[in-house]
Amino acid sequence: MADPKKLFIKTYGCQMNVYDSERMAEAMGGSGYEQVKTPEEADLILLNTCHIREKAAEKVYSELGRFKGLKADRPDLKIGVTGCVAQAEGEEIMRRQPLVDLVVGPQAYHRLPEMERQARRGEKVLDTDMPEEDKFEILKSRPKAKRGPTAFLTVQEGCDKFCAFCVVPYTRGAEVSRPVDRILSEARDLVVRGVREITLLGQNVNAYHGAGPDGDVSLARLIWALNEIDGLERIRFTTSHPNDMTDDLIAAHGDCEKLMPYLHLPVQSGSDRILKRMNRSHDRDSYLRLIERIRAARPDILISGDFIVGFPEETDADFEDTMDLIRQVEYGQAFSFKYSPRPGTPAAERAQVDPTVADARLQELQALITRQQRTRQDAMVGQEVGVLFEKPGRRPGQMVGKSDHLHAVHVDDCGASVGELRRVKITESGTNSLGGVLV
């Protein structure tokens, strides 16, 4: 029996890329590959790229440059670029880096095994199509290996919103939702393999409208269907758009016991003028009213958000509107970034904010978010929370897991094992985690 070939995957970006990398590994596993931890061990290297951040493509070229020595020493080594940079710059990657053997976009990675075979025959292979066939259905035969207690599950891809700063509609395509029966089947399989918490993924996940037995099904109805799976203890979803927070989804946060009290709901700016220039299709007041409704349904919910600082034409007054919105919402967590132009998007052609001004604004905003996050964590001391333990901690006997609100929690002299869901009383609040004792 031939020795298995070795596969190294480096993943950039969001949780959906993590999920995609898992599926690529599974696809190549059927062709005799097993994963390794370093590129030096590999027969096939895949870079699963993200195109959201500034100079994403240049970072890929820099990474590829590090493999020149490996390729020179081992001519049979094959190198591939996958994901959103591959979709956006496929032919350019091939032109600039001759060492690349295959380039595949995020909607075509189910074709990887055949592409690898072509590359082994000495061909250069490029596939950035958005095929009609269901890549998830083609790859539905997953290895039955034991899984950790948490898993991502993609239910929706693409976006129809066309925010002025975003490349997702161009790299991932239009919104597509997976059928309900296929999602439930995959979820049940994950639970059999040890998963107790599933995070539903989508570029615009709450726009989910997958086919069900009696017509299209909303995200809320999908969550209620998942709620019926024995052994699945927790459900989360990300990332959401304010315009798609429907009444039934808001109600589910109050009524569905397995849906965790955590919601990532990006607003991007607190300025109506900037929101309009972003093509966000909502304003600050509608967002604030939405937060009020969600908190009325689930008072203990932790709200997370995204902010872009230094968007083209942002003034001091626009920035202060954003700071005021943050003070009103009181976020438990948030992700904030300095605007970076993405070629081909409308905002890239507009007058840019002075980088030093944008840097100063970002630091001020992040300082406020950090204070709010710490306040929320400190308020947890003395409370009891559910913790799903995921791995051993740094000290003997310590276990680390996530709370209902997605806080990292460590417990010393724990006695619990990976995969257990236990009640924990919080006794301390650290910089980015909580400590507690079993109840």
Output the known binding site for [4Fe-4S] cluster.
14, 50, 84, 159, 163, 166
| Residue 391 neighbours by CB distance under 10 Å | 11
Do residues 16 and 109 touch, judged by C-beta distance below 8 A?
A: no
* Rounded CA separation 272/305 (Å): 17
> What is the per-residue DSSP string for 212-251?
ETTEEEEHHHHHHHHHTSTT--EEEEE---GGG--HHHHH
Do residues 154 and 16 touch, judged by C-beta distance below 8 A?
A: yes
Which residues are part of a known binding site?
14, 50, 84, 159, 163, 166
> What is the per-residue DSSP string for 154-178?
E-EE--S---TT--HHHHT-S-EE-
* Rounded CA separation 208/217 (Å): 8
Name residue 162's amino acid.
Answer: F
Do residues 170 and 143 touch, judged by C-beta distance below 8 A?
A: no
> What is the per-residue DSSP string for 240-295?
--GGG--HHHHHHHHH-TTB-SEEE---B-S-HHHHHHHT-S--HHHHHHHHHHHH
| Residue 238 neighbours by CB distance under 10 Å | 20
* Rounded CA separation 183/268 (Å): 30
